[in-house]
Structure 1
Amino acid sequence: MLALLLSPFCLQAQDLDGDLDGDLDFSDLLGSQSQMIPSPQPESTSPGNWIFEGEIRPSVWYPMKSPHDLKTTNRMDLFVEKQHRNTTFAVRARADYQNINDDEGTEADIRELYLTQRWQAGRTHVSLSAGRKILYWGKGDEIRPMDRINPEDMTSFLYYDKNDRKTGIPGLFLNTVMPQGLRVEAFWSPVFVGSSLPEPDSYFSPSRMEAFRKAGGLIRNADEDWQWEADASLGLRVAFPLRHADLSLYAWKGKDPMPTLKVSRVIREIPLPTPPYVMDIPPTPTELSYFHSNALVFGTDLELTAGSFVFRAEGAWQAEGHHERVNFEKNPSLLNRFTNGLAEKQKGEFLIGMDRNDLFVRNLFVNVQYMAVLIHDHEEALEADAFTQGFSFTLKYSLLDSRISGMWRVFTWLNSQDRQHQIELSWKPARNTLFTLGAFFYDGGTEKDLFGQFREKDFSFLRVGVLF
Structure 2
Amino acid sequence: MLASTPSINAQETVFLGSLTSQVGVGLPNAHHNKGDYLLGQTVFDGTIKSYLDEAMVYVNGQIVHDALGGQSTNGQSAFVADDGTFALKLREAYIDWKGEMLALRVGRQIVSWGKADDIQITDVLNPRDEANAIAADYNESKLGIDAVRLSLLTDKTQVDVYWIPFFTPSILPLAKGNPLHSHLFPEKYEDVKINAPERYDDFELPEKKLSKSEFALRASAYTSVADLSVYGFYGWDDTPFVRYSPSAAYDDDENEFPGYSIDVFGEYKRMYMIGADAAIPAGDFVFRLEGAYFPKRHFQTDVNTQFYQYIHDEKTSASKRKNQVLGLAGLDWTPSGGWVITAQYIADAVIDSDSDLERKKFVHQATLSIEKSILNETLTIMGSGALDLWDFSSVGELELDYKLTDAITLSLIGDLYLEGPDGKDGLYGEYRDYSRITFKGKMSF
Same structural fold, with TM-score higher than 0.5 when normalized by the shorter chain: yes
- The offset of 1:311, in angstroms, is 0.9
- In the alignment, the residues of structure 2 paired with residue 96 and residue 208 of structure 1 have an alpha-carbon distance, to the nearest angstrom, of 22
Residue in structure 1 matching 2:112, options 125, 128, 136: 136
Residue 365 of structure 2 corresponds to residue 402 of structure 1 = no
Partner in structure 2 of residue 455 of structure 1: 432
- In the alignment, the residues of structure 1 paired with residue 132 and residue 167 of structure 2 have an alpha-carbon distance, to the nearest angstrom, of 22
- In the alignment, the residues of structure 2 paired with residue 211 and residue 218 of structure 1 have an alpha-carbon distance, to the nearest angstrom, of 8
Is the deviation greater in 408-417 or in 305-314?
A: 408-417
- In the alignment, the residues of structure 2 paired with residue 116 and residue 402 of structure 1 have an alpha-carbon distance, to the nearest angstrom, of 35
Across the two proteins, how many residue pairs are aligned to each other? 405
Report the 3-state secondary structure (helix = DSSP H, G, I; strand = E; otherwise coil) of the residue aligned with 1:210.
Answer: coil
Identity %: 21
Deviations 1:37-89 (A, max 9, x none): xxxxxxxxxx9511111211111111224453344112121111111111111
- The offset of 1:400, in angstroms, is 1.9
Report the 3-state secondary structure (helix = DSSP H, G, I; strand = E; otherwise coil) of the residue aligned with 1:456.
Answer: helix
Residue 373 of structure 2 corresponds to residue 373 of structure 1 = no
Residue 227 of structure 2 corresponds to residue 246 of structure 1 = yes
- The offset of 1:342, in angstroms, is 2.8
- In the alignment, the residues of structure 1 paired with residue 357 and residue 213 of structure 2 have an alpha-carbon distance, to the nearest angstrom, of 29
- The offset of 1:227, in angstroms, is 3.4
Partner in structure 1 of residue 79 of structure 2: none
Paired amino acid for 2:132: S
Q: Tell me: CA distance 1:106–1:409, structure 2 relative to 1, closer, same or farther (3 Å).
A: same
Report the 3-state secondary structure (helix = DSSP H, G, I; strand = E; otherwise coil) of the residue aligned with 1:170.
Answer: strand
Report the 3-state secondary structure (helix = DSSP H, G, I; strand = E; otherwise coil) of the residue aligned with 1:453.
Answer: helix
Is the deviation greater in 206-215 or in 101-110?
A: 206-215
Check whether the contact 1:371–1:389 (CA below 8 A) recurs between aligned residues.
yes
Check whether the contact 1:334–1:381 (CA below 8 A) recurs between aligned residues.
no
Q: Name the TM-score, length of structure 2 as normaliser.
A: 0.83
Residue 23 of structure 2 corresponds to residue 60 of structure 1 = yes
Where structure 2 has 5 or more consecutive residues not aligned to the other structure, the ranges are 1-9, 71-82, 251-255
Residue 174 of structure 2 corresponds to residue 227 of structure 1 = no
Partner in structure 1 of residue 326 of structure 2: 349
Report the 3-state secondary structure (helix = DSSP H, G, I; strand = E; otherwise coil) of the residue aligned with 1:385.
Answer: coil
- In the alignment, the residues of structure 1 paired with residue 127 and residue 277 of structure 2 have an alpha-carbon distance, to the nearest angstrom, of 21
Partner in structure 1 of residue 80 of structure 2: none
Q: Tell me: CA distance 1:258–1:229, structure 2 relative to 1, closer, same or farther (3 Å).
A: farther
- In the alignment, the residues of structure 1 paired with residue 122 and residue 195 of structure 2 have an alpha-carbon distance, to the nearest angstrom, of 32
- In the alignment, the residues of structure 2 paired with residue 350 and residue 206 of structure 1 have an alpha-carbon distance, to the nearest angstrom, of 31
Is the deviation greater in 229-238 or in 181-190?
A: 229-238
Shift >6 Å, 4+ stretches: none
Report the 3-state secondary structure (helix = DSSP H, G, I; strand = E; otherwise coil) of the residue aligned with 1:349.
Answer: strand
Report the 3-state secondary structure (helix = DSSP H, G, I; strand = E; otherwise coil) of the residue aligned with 2:139.
Answer: helix
- In the alignment, the residues of structure 1 paired with residue 69 and residue 168 of structure 2 have an alpha-carbon distance, to the nearest angstrom, of 23
- In the alignment, the residues of structure 2 paired with residue 260 and residue 76 of structure 1 have an alpha-carbon distance, to the nearest angstrom, of 33
Partner in structure 2 of residue 319 of structure 1: 295
- The offset of 1:278, in angstroms, is 9.6
Paired amino acid for 2:64: D
Partner in structure 2 of residue 259 of structure 1: 240
Partner in structure 2 of residue 205 of structure 1: 181
Report the 3-state secondary structure (helix = DSSP H, G, I; strand = E; otherwise coil) of the residue aligned with 1:333.
Answer: helix
Partner in structure 1 of residue 99 of structure 2: 119
Partner in structure 2 of residue 25 of structure 1: none
- The offset of 1:430, in angstroms, is 1.4
Residue 409 of structure 2 corresponds to residue 434 of structure 1 = yes
- The offset of 1:171, in angstroms, is 2.1
Partner in structure 1 of residue 89 of structure 2: 109
Partner in structure 2 of residue 77 of structure 1: 45
- In the alignment, the residues of structure 1 paired with residue 175 and residue 15 of structure 2 have an alpha-carbon distance, to the nearest angstrom, of 37
Paired amino acid for 2:17: G
- The offset of 1:401, in angstroms, is 2.4
Report the 3-state secondary structure (helix = DSSP H, G, I; strand = E; otherwise coil) of the residue aligned with 1:346.
Answer: strand
Report the 3-state secondary structure (helix = DSSP H, G, I; strand = E; otherwise coil) of the residue aligned with 1:243.
Answer: coil
Residue in structure 2 matching 1:169, options 134, 145, 152: 145
Q: Tell me: CA distance 1:270–1:349, structure 2 relative to 1, closer, same or farther (3 Å).
A: same
Paired amino acid for 2:281: T
Q: Name the TM-score, length of structure 1 as normaliser.
A: 0.79
Higher RCO by CA contacts (8 Å cutoff, separation 6 or greater): 1
- In the alignment, the residues of structure 2 paired with residue 206 and residue 447 of structure 1 have an alpha-carbon distance, to the nearest angstrom, of 20
Deviations 1:303-353 (A, max 9, x none): 110111011111111114331434727x96366577224322111111111
* Aligned Cα root-mean-square deviation (Å): 2.8
- The offset of 1:394, in angstroms, is 0.6
Partner in structure 2 of residue 306 of structure 1: 282
Residue 132 of structure 2 corresponds to residue 156 of structure 1 = yes
- The offset of 1:435, in angstroms, is 0.7
Paired amino acid for 2:222: P
